[in-house]
Structure 1
């Protein structure tokens, strides 16, 4: 009987198994049809004629059922059919990370009851994450960088007692305290909660998770002290706490973390000494920068056998560095800048020949520069400025083959610049000002052809300026003032076509000023004062648009050129008794020529021609005046109401009289712009918004305008303008007042004669902007937007961020313009001001979600600002023919993130190679800002912080730990940013 039962069971199983396999085949084929693949052949084997166990990415159990789906990093797109996938009863592993899967994760995920490994990380999902309490067998959960928002279902973790890996970081969850549920997961060995809005204190019970190997809590809002109990985590290999709001001292318990290799508590408010790190003998990387630590650097660090990265900058540390520091391992970099450290520079940090950066500026180091660094051929940045170093600079330092920056200024160093400088083929910045360097400048300096800045002022250099200096085609700044240089100014200097600043003041230069300097296309500042120059001032200098010219205290003679003959240049020529002028009263008058001069003859011809032209133009003149009169009369006929929010130095009539065609300087999406010159010389810009500029859905203001008196819309407009007028920020254009009528509005702003960033980057009369200037523009504009988003009583969304709305003052400092106007113009009484079917913005800058959701918020501005950053980096317009049909700068740049060479090709060719590392840092930020998923974009507050860390010439870290230690980009936030990190 039992034999018969067994036979029946086997027969039933034989019928059942093909049915199961058939169901699993259909489930996988459904998965294939739901997902699209790009540049991968992973689904080639997924055919109905094949066994599911032979499918690429599929692993089966011994019984032949699907056990694992491994499809991570396959460029897959689409929405997951979880209702189907979770019917795979034997499924233990579902790995789909690093793809482009979107949509929401449904509650069906809770039906995958046998899952032990789940990876949905690094995908642009949306919405909240569902309750997965039923997945009690989970051992690894990866959801990092996947766009999930809202409140995470922390309670669903309570039953996951087998969980060893929990990775939820880089998601814009709602703020929440450190969840108690995590503290019950005693088997956790990896906890990644970075950048996911955790606030409050780190609970002492964290010390009960004794299996932890990696603990990452960076980029959150954690406050209070680091709990002493964290010292119970004896197995910790990595501890990341940077960029929080932690206070207090490093707890003594940290001494117990003897297996720790990576420790980063930077960018907090920690204080006290750092003695406890002296017990962490296995450290590879120690990052404690930007805190308030004091006391000495533990001497034990000099005996650490693995230490390769040390970053302690911007603290209050004192005393010497251990002299054996970095001598044991393949040391990479040190940054201890901006402290009060003393004593000599440790000599052996490049003992293994691998050091890339030595940053020790702004301390009190003394003694000589160790000669060992003259042989450190891997050094890219050597910065020891603002110390008390003395002695001669080792000759080999000047010729380091891959060095980008030599910064030794503000010390007491002596000796010459040697001919070794010919070997420094990649050096962009030579900064050695305010020392006691002497001797002649070597002719070989002309072979360092990457030089962008030479800052050798305030030394004791003598002899002639090398004639070969004209070979430095990338040179932008040449500062040689306050030395003992003699001889003439080399005529070859005119070959430095990129130069913008020349300062040779207070030397003993003689001879004439080369007229060829007038051919320098980008020269902005020329200071040759305090020398023994003679002869005439070259007329060619008149062609240049110099912001500063100083030729004072020389031996110049002859007439001051007419372009300089104004009171504004009085101080530029003093101390030259031989100069004369016909218009500057402080100089002797130039003798007049006898007879009819050439100028007089030219004047007579001009008068005759002028009369002829005048007669021919009278008709046209009266025509224009009549049109202008009609225009002014129509404005005067309207009833105007002025609302001022500042003390005004002008009247309503002065503004109205200036709204005429002659003063039109621009047209924008929200109205025409006029320049107003007040009688007192003050210049203003007036935006005239007319009803024809503000239609929505075919309705003019008369029926739906915010200016209509119907339904109180005039009050809404007044309230909006009052909000905009209350804004006070150095990087936001000041709105003085509004002058409104029933059909028009005049908004009165500051005027900026330097135009917009668009003008400087893209127009035919564009001006060269060096990288420092571009960076400062980026930071200033970011701070302006940050203020609009976070600093006002209620957030002001710009809605039309673009380079033409970033104006530049006389010092090229940026001001955000037209903020809030898009809302005023297109709101038109909409019930929800965050949603409109009229797309405000400019093609190329508009965030992708705006095109199909019509919703705009702060993250839409962030996207547009990311495009502006890309303009600054590449010099390209947002839309260029070279990008291809229906392509913009964002897609073009993303297509270039495939090799180091193609990444570097993105950078504007006008930016010297020495700055390209700094430029790439900003490009990373631009890519993060233009992430397709709004939730994954940083806030403007975070953007400002990241830009601060990308400051030129400041070493900044990257995810894979190349160099520096300022900040790491959050893991897996965006594939393009990750690829960029790996390539550059």
Structure 2
């Protein structure tokens, strides 16, 4: 009998191989199923709010290694890397799931909008070598990291973490080469975390702005591989340790904004590879001689210290130096004349020192210089002619020196110059007509010099001008009529010159003017009544001239805090609204004026007016003509009243109604309600009226005049004004463009616009609880509990998030403030007043860098970069909203005397946070209940992030919403009820 091949217990080689292959395939298949599920969990966690493009290739059934975007596998087909930085991801990372990927070595999620707490599941990613969670919006503490022993790269900077950082867990991470933990609000350390000093393989250490106290330990010098060391914006004290000179590989050293003292360590010049050195805003002293050997320096920032002595002559030979900032020190001597001659120099700021000698001539030799700032020194000589060709120059400030000679003509016409400040020197000669080519110029400051000649008419072509200060010079002749074209001009100071002629009526067209000072000149003729139509004029000084005639009656409408017409030749009665104690001395030196309430002026009784009989007679004649005119208009009105059909025809032709939502009213109902009895508010762009329809529905109507003169309450009788072409209000256009298409529960509803030849009406929903400002700061103030404040914060944030991220074309509001957050009957907020809004050109961030030479917004809410550069983007709104959050949490106004001179709530809050070492409870509004102070602190921390000085470190509004949702308070009522039940 033949034996069966299986009877002996041995398998033929072919069968054995097939069986082995089958087992391998099954094992491989099961393993890869295990790999797929965590990735699908990750996709699911982000699917509701993330960019669809990030996961469009993550489809079940496709090969993970070859098809999934951002996934890298090893040769065995196991996932080793997940790379999803800057993908607009939003959600909570499921670490418990993805850390089940046993071969995972790299997780890169930086620059997204991730939130929530990082779970302890991260510990299971034990094979990680690279972890990047930076630039997100996580909350809570960083979990223990001691299990990640293979980690070489760790980035958690600017990610919203708080509480205690697990410094001790770093001791196990001896392979770390890159460590970035900065820009988080960790609990303060009592001393520098010594665990860092055990990481001998570190090449990169970023610990800026993470609340580190104490001295920099001398053992920092043992980290000999360091190339980048950043410890800025902490509370470090003491001297820079000498041992830092052992870090021979350093190319960047950042120590700014601490409280360091003493001199630069001897031997610092041995760090010849150093490219960027910033120790600004400390209390360092001594001279700069140690730096003369740092020939590879590219950027040197030592401003706001106490350095003294001269600037080393060797700086003039540094071939790569492009940034030099040494302002606010005690430096003396000359600037090296070759400085900036070699590289493409970008900026120099040596202001507020005691430097002397001439301005170096070649700092713009390569045509890249943007900022030349040398103010408040003792520089002499003239402006080198070489700067006439510096077309890149943006800011040119050499004020408060001893400079002289004629300004080279080409300086006036530099195309990118936004500010030229030559004030308080000894310059002479004219301002040339070339200035008409300076299309970016916003600020022209020439005060306290010896400039002379006529002011060129071409100055009126510089439409970007915001401020002109030419006081205390020798200018002559008239003010050019062309200045009336400057629609953005807010300040005009021409005092103490030799100007003459009439004050041009065209200045009444400069509707942004808030300050006018024309005092101490030789102006004559009557004061133009057009000045009384300037809508936001706050200060007016026409004193010490030769002005005649009466004070225009239009001045009665002005809301002035400063006013002076003294020492002129004015006659007639002082308007009652100006005859107040605040202006008690404003009319001195005008013997022809009279008043019943100003003690030093004669009475306006008939006997005292006998000397001005001709003026009185003329006034009577004018009054008679006006009386006849009024009588005629009354007769005409009666006739029209009787003819209803004619009236209806007039209305239908005069008004154009454009609905943006379904409306249940007519234009007549709205128009007939625009009267003084229904006036509920006045704003910068128009009056607001409450309208109650016949069906009981309440509306709010903003009345905006189209005329370039915005006296909205009175008929204008001046023939000059009536003949001026009326132009549509820019506030009206911005409001309609924004709100006509916006649909969001937290943005005010615009029902329709009703426009005519000279007026615009915008019809909104009526919000009975007024503005958040009213409820926090005015007589309408009520005691709002934290729950209401929190819900207002979240609702307003969602409204702004929609404007920034939810519209087809993102909208920047540009005037976010508590008075522009309105409250309905249920205290739900609406973002309102879009008169300054800008719609970006597309949804791809192209609005970044959008500029306006008018600094739009409100003092205390304006982001610092906006006031400084006139550049705006969505982060400007984020800053302003951060101020609103501070108001809600602290109960304080943006500007209060307790903050100190020239400080606002943001500076106060950031300073107070450092003083309190991160314990913010003392900053919370005392009216908030003790049980909810911690909840208010959470929001205050968000506010501090929103108001970061650097725009890129502020969260997006989408991230702000997520952070606020994470900070949701416990329901206090439920807590009380629960305690009562337990008792």
Which of 144, 153, 166 matches 2:157?
144
Q: Secondary structure at the match of 1:572?
A: coil
Give the deviation of 1:918 after TM superposition: 4.6
Q: Deviations over 1:310-333 (max 9, x none)?
A: 111122222211111111111111
Deviation of 1:847 (Å): 8.1
Give me the whole-angstrom Cα distance separating, in 1, the residues matched to 2:579 and 2:833.
49
Tell me the residue number matched to 1:200: 214
Q: Sort the Cα spacing of 1:295 and 1:925 in 2 relative to 1 into closer, same or farther, 3 A.
A: farther
Q: Which residue of 1 aligns with 2:110?
A: 97
Instruction: Select the residue among 586, 590, 603 that pairs with 2:609.
Output: 590
Q: Cα distance, 1:584 vs. partner?
A: 4.3
1:921 and 1:309, CA in 2 relative to 1: closer, same or farther beyond 3 A?
A: farther
Q: In structure 2, what is the equivalent of residue 73 of structure 1? A: 86
Deviations 1:625-662 (A, max 9, x none): xxxxxxxxxxxxxxxxxxxxxxxxxxxxxxxxxxxxxx
How many Å separate the matches in 1 of 2:879 and 2:523?
A: 51
Match of residue 830 from structure 1: none
Q: Judging changes above 3 Å, is the alpha-carbon distance between structure 1 residues 44 and 583 closer, same or farther for their aligned structure 2 residues?
A: closer
Question: Is 1:39 aligned with 2:58?
Answer: no
Matched, 1:969 2:969: no
Alpha-carbon distance in structure 2 between the residues aligned to 1:460 and 1:218: 48
Distance 1:471 1:71, change over 3 A: closer
C-alpha distance in structure 2 between counterparts of 1:435 and 1:237, whole Å: 45
In the alignment, the residues of structure 1 paired with residue 818 and residue 96 of structure 2 have an alpha-carbon distance, to the nearest angstrom, of 48
Match runs of 1:252-651 below 5 Å = 252-565=266-579, 569-581=583-595, 584-588=598-602, 589-591=608-610
Partners of 1:424 and 1:236 lie apart in 2 by 43
* SS of equivalent residue, structure 1 residue 23: helix
Distance 2:844 2:283 in 1: 39
Whole-Å Cα distance in 2 between the matches of residues 106 and 967 of structure 1?
A: 27
Shift of the alpha carbon at 1:428? 1.4
Specify whether residues 464 and 276 from structure 1 end up closer, same or farther in structure 2 by C-alpha distance, changes over 3 A only: same
Is 1:158 the equivalent of 2:199? Answer: no
Distance 1:127 1:3, change over 3 A: farther
Mapped to 1, the partners of 2:213 and 2:158 lie a distance apart of: 19
Q: Is the 8 A contact 1:928 1:977 kept in 2?
A: no
Q: Is the 8 A contact 1:427 1:451 kept in 2?
A: yes
Partner of 2:847: 901
Q: Does 2:890 align with 1:927?
A: no
Please give the residue correspondences for 1:75-224 in structure 2 after superposition, counting only pairs within 5 Å.
75-176=88-189, 177-224=191-238
SS of match in other structure, 1:102: strand
Match runs of 1:218-237 below 5 Å:
218-237=232-251
Contact in 2 for aligned 1:305/1:329 (Cα 8 Å): yes
Q: Is the 8 A contact 1:873 1:908 kept in 2?
A: no
In the superposition, relative to structure 1, how do residues 274 and 243 fare at CA in structure 2: closer, same or farther (>3 Å)?
same
1:642 alignment partner in structure 2: none
How large is the RMSD of aligned CA atoms in angstroms?
Answer: 4.7
1:877 maps to 2:820: yes
Out of 804, 823, 837, the position equivalent to 2:774 is: 804
528 and 234 in structure 1: CA distance in 2 versus 1, 3 angstrom threshold: same
Q: Cα distance 1:481–1:162, how it changes in 2: closer, same or farther (>3 A)?
A: same
1:425 is displaced (CA, Å) by 1.4
Distance 1:412 1:178, change over 3 A: same
**Distance (Å, rounded) in 2 between the aligned partners of 1:305 and 1:978:** 43
**1:911-922 equivalences in 2 (<5 Å):** 918=869, 920=871
Deviates more, 1:901-910 or 1:285-294: 901-910
Given that 1:871 and 1:877 are in contact with CA atoms closer than 8 Å, whether structure 2 keeps it comes out as: no
Please state if 1:61 is matched with 2:74: yes
The aligned length equals 736
Structure 2 distance, partners of 1:557, 1:887, is 51
Cα distance in 2 between the residues matched to 1:180 and 1:909: 47
Asked if the contact 1:93–1:116 (Cα under 8 Å) also holds between the matched residues in 2, the reply is yes
Relative to structure 1, is the Cα distance of residues 379 and 109 closer, same or farther in structure 2, using a 3 angstrom cutoff? same
- Relative distance call for 1:928 and 1:538 in structure 2 (3 A) is closer
Change (3 A) 1:367 1:305: same
- Cα deviation code 1:565-593 (max 9, x no counterpart): 56665533332334444554533432388
Q: Partners in 2 of 1:968 and 1:977 — Cα distance?
A: 19
Counterpart in the other structure of 2:792: 843
Scaled by the length of structure 2, the TM-score of the pair is: 0.67
Following superposition, the deviation at residue 547 of structure 1 comes to: 3.2
SS of match in other structure, 1:146: coil
Could you tell me how far 1:9 is from its partner in structure 2? 6.3
CA spacing shift, 1:446–1:513, aligned 2, 3 Å: same
Maintained 8 Å contact 2:51/2:89: no
Q: How much has 1:920 moved relative to structure 2?
A: 5.0
Aligned counterparts, 1:825-844, within 5 A? 826=785, 838-840=787-789, 843=792
User: Could you say what secondary structure the match of 2:162 adopts?
Assistant: coil
Shift of 1:880: 11
More relative contact order, 1 or 2 (CA 8 Å, 6+ apart): 1
Out of 13-22 and 437-446, give the one that drifted further. 13-22
Q: Any idea what the Cα deviations from partners look like across 1:835-864, whole Å, max 9, x if unmatched?
A: x7x434673576879xxxxxxxxxxxxxxx
Preserved CA contact (<8 Å) 2:821 2:830: no
* C-alpha spacing 1:897/1:259, structure 2 compared with 1 (3 Å): farther
Structure 1 pair 247–575 and aligned structure 2 pair: CA distance change class (3 A):
same
3-state SS of 1:158 partner: helix
Gap change, CA 1:579 and 1:180, over 3 Å in 2? closer
Partner of 1:738: none
Greater mean deviation of Cα atoms: 32-41 or 906-915: 906-915
Asked whether the 8 Å contact 1:806–1:817 carries over to 2, the reply is: no
Under a length normalisation based on structure 1, what TM-score does the superposition of the two structures give? Answer: 0.67
Distance 1:256 1:908 in 2: 48
Change (3 A) 1:938 1:65: farther
Change (3 A) 1:380 1:947: farther
Equivalent position SS for 2:472:
coil
Q: 1:347 to 1:945 in 2, by over 3 A?
A: farther
Q: 2:28 aligns with which of 12, 17, 38?
A: 17
SS at structure 2 position matched to 1:575: coil
Greater mean deviation of Cα atoms: 529-538 or 469-478: 529-538
Quote the Cα distance in structure 2 between the aligned partners of 1:367 and 1:949. Answer: 42
2:534 & 2:771 partners in 1: Cα distance? 34
CA contact (8 A) 2:876 2:951 kept: no
Q: Secondary structure at the match of 1:200?
A: strand
1-structure distance, mates of 2:851, 2:356: 43
Distance 1:153 1:764, change over 3 A: farther
CA distance in 2, matches of 1:209, 1:475: 56
Q: What is the Cα deviation at residue 930 of structure 1?
A: 5.4
Deviation at 1:337, TM superposition (A): 1.4
Contact kept, 8 Å, 1:512 with 1:534, in 2: the verdict is: yes
Partners of 2:524 and 2:546 within 8 A in 1: yes
Deviation at 1:188, TM superposition (A): 0.9
Query: Post-superposition shift, 1:472?
Result: 2.0
The CA deviation at 1:469 is 2.1
Deviation at 1:931, TM superposition (A): 7.8
3-state DSSP of counterpart to 1:478: strand
Residues in 2 aligned to 1:949 and 1:446: alpha-carbon distance in whole angstroms: 42
